[in-house]
Amino acid sequence: MAREYNIARASSVCRACGKELTAGAEYVAALFDEGVSFRRDDFCQACWEQTPHEAAFSTWQGKVPPVEQVKKTFVDDEVLIDFFQRLADQAEQAKVNFRFVLALMLMRKKLLIYDASHADEAGLDIWTMHLRGDLTPLAVVHPELDEQQIAEVTSQLGSILERP
């Protein structure tokens, strides 16, 4: 079974000042790598500009939608690609699984193109891929997840990337 991260959902509260992020407020979401897990913190724009954030694994900006608007689960394509690329050298199994599911999402959006696959020295199935418009080969480990495991990882990704 895929390893499950305990990742806090979007908080709707600024991590620095505690102010509620209300409809229309601009925010910055920051993802921090804590070894075997990720931590998400949300910041109002003013606090983000005053907060040291060099340790953030990934960040993205957004605007809190009106309450009546349907929730948009995932962030823009550039953030997904950045997250995918930052996970490239990660060996921890849960992060390999995250990267694989991100690859599937990017393939579905036609942003990542499958080229070939081969088994490496350890017998792992490695997919060679490239980003649309860039022929640089990217290696993606296929962790042989079943449909339930993919759904679990997708749900965990949704928890990380949803709006506050």
**Percent of the chain at pLDDT exceeding 90:** 40
Task: Please tell me the distance from the alpha carbon of residue 42 to that of residue 15, in angstroms, as a whole number.
Answer: 6
Distances (CA, A) of 84 to 6, 18, 40, 136: 20, 30, 16, 14
Q: Given a cut of 50, is residue 89 above it in pLDDT?
A: yes
Helix (H) or strand (E) holding 126: strand 125-131
Q: Taking residues 13-28, report their average pLDDT.
A: 91
Name the phi and psi angles at 96, rounded to 5.
-60, -40
Residue 5, pLDDT score: 46
pLDDT band at 14 (very low <50, low <70, confident <90, very high): very high
pTM: predicted TM-score of the whole model, two decimal places: 0.60
Of the two residues 162 and 26, the one the predictor is more confident about is 26
Residue 3, pLDDT score: 42
pLDDT band at 68 (very low <50, low <70, confident <90, very high): low
Task: Please tell me the distance from the alpha carbon of residue 164 to that of residue 155, in angstroms, as a whole number.
Answer: 16
Q: Given a cut of 80, is residue 117 above it in pLDDT?
A: yes
Mean of pLDDT over the chain: 84
Q: Taking residues 108-117, report their average pLDDT.
A: 93
